[in-house]
Amino acid sequence: MVLKRIGIVLFLIFFLLPNHNLQAQDSNAGFVPGNIWYSQDPFEEGDKIKIYTVLFNPDSREFSGTVIFFDKTTFLGKKDFKVAPRSVQDISIDWTVNVGEHIIFAKIENAKFLVSPGKYEEVYLSGNQTEESKRTVKKKITISTTSENIVNNLKGEILDASSGSIENIGNTVKENTPDIIAQPIISTVNSLEDFRNKVGGLSVENKETIKKELQYNKENPEDNNKLETPFRYIKLFFFTLTSFIFNQKIIFYFLIVIILFYILRYIWRLIF
C-alpha cells in the first residue's frame, strides 16, 4: 500500500510539471492509474459507503466532464467535475453494498478543456477508465437471524420431545396392561396417529391451493368470480386452522382428551 501511494505521488509530480507540448485533442489528463478505493474497507452486505477516485489535470486549462461509476455493467452513479489547471480532485458516489461478485470501475465522458469563457474544446483521454476493483461480498449473518434459528431449534426440540412421548404411549400401555386390553388401545392410538397425519397433510395441500387461486384472482381481476372469492377465504381459514391443529401433536391430543372428557361426562350423567 505504501509503495502504491509513493507511485501515485511520483506520477502526479511528473504530469503536473509544465508541459508546453500538450495538445487539446490528446491529453494525459484523467484518472490516476488504479485509483478506486472505499470509505470503508473491508465492507459487508448492507454497509453504506462511498466509492472514491482521483482526477488529475496537468494542462494549463480547466478540465471538466462527467465521471460514471459501474459495477460490471450495472450503473452505480455519476458526478460532473471541474478540475483546475495543474491540480487534482477526488470524486465519490454513495453505494449500499449488496451480496455477490463485484467489479467496480469508473469512466470519464464528455471530457473537455475550457479554451475561453463559455468556449470548450473536446479532448481525447489516454486514461479515461480506472482499473477494475474486484470484491466478493458474502451473505451477512445477523444477530436477529441467529436468534430466530435458536428459537426455531428450541421449538423443534420441544416438539420432537413431545412427539416421542406420544409415540411411546403404545409401548407404555403394552408393558403395563394385559394383552387383551393393550392391543385395542395400541391399535386405536396408531389409527388416530395415521388419521392425524393424513388430515394434516391434506389440509396443508388444500390451503396452498386456495392461496394460489386467490393470488391468481388478484393478478387477473378480469377472470375473478366475485361470488366465489368470499367462500375461498372461508375455506382458507378453515384449512389453515385444521392444518395447524392436526400438525401440532400437543394441541391435537390435548383437544382429543378434552373431547373424550366431555363425552364421558355426558355418558356418566345419562347413566347416573
Same domain, 127 and 9: yes
Q: 252-262 pLDDT, tens per residue? A: 888 888 988 88
What is the chain's mean pLDDT, rounded? 78
Same domain, 84 and 202: no
Which residues span the domain enclosing 120? 2-137
- Which range is least confidently modeled, 28-37, 47-56, 146-155, 240-249? 146-155
Same domain, 46 and 167: no
Same domain, 203 and 244: yes
Determine the 3-state secondary structure of 60 from DSSP.
coil
Same domain, 83 and 191: no
> Which of 137, 169, 184 is the C-terminal boundary of a domain?
137
Q: Is the peptide bond before 42 cis (omega within 30 degrees of 0)?
A: yes
231: which strand partners?
A: none
Number of domains into which the chain is organized: 2
Same domain, 131 and 8: yes
Q: Write the CATH number for 52.
A: 2.60.40.10
CA distances to 1, 16, 48, 89, 233 from 56, in Å: 20, 8, 27, 6, 66
> Which of 137, 160, 180 is the C-terminal boundary of a domain?
137
Q: 64-84 pLDDT, tens per residue? A: 999 999 999 999 999 999 999
